[in-house]
Amino acid sequence: MKIRTWGCRGSIATPGLTTLRYGGNSTCVEIKPSTGQTIIIDAGSGLRNLGSLLIQEKETAPIRFFFTHSHWDHLVGF
């Protein structure tokens, strides 16, 4: 199983020099279990970078979305 955090900042994404090392995107977590599918928890601004990678890798396995709640910072990636 692989778990990767694409964003874990607060309500407003804060890209810039001070967040270069750890990132400034809002909540988005990718989980890849051994079954091959992709599970995405929340669709914060980190979803943009994750989506670009999935397109680049030509991901064909099913992608499942789960949302912890419907606040803006957890949906802004759409």
pLDDT at 38: 95
pLDDT tens readout for residues 20-67: 777 788 999 999 999 889 999 999 999 999 999 999 998 788 899 999
* Residue 41: half-sphere exposure toward Cβ, Cα within 13 Å: 10
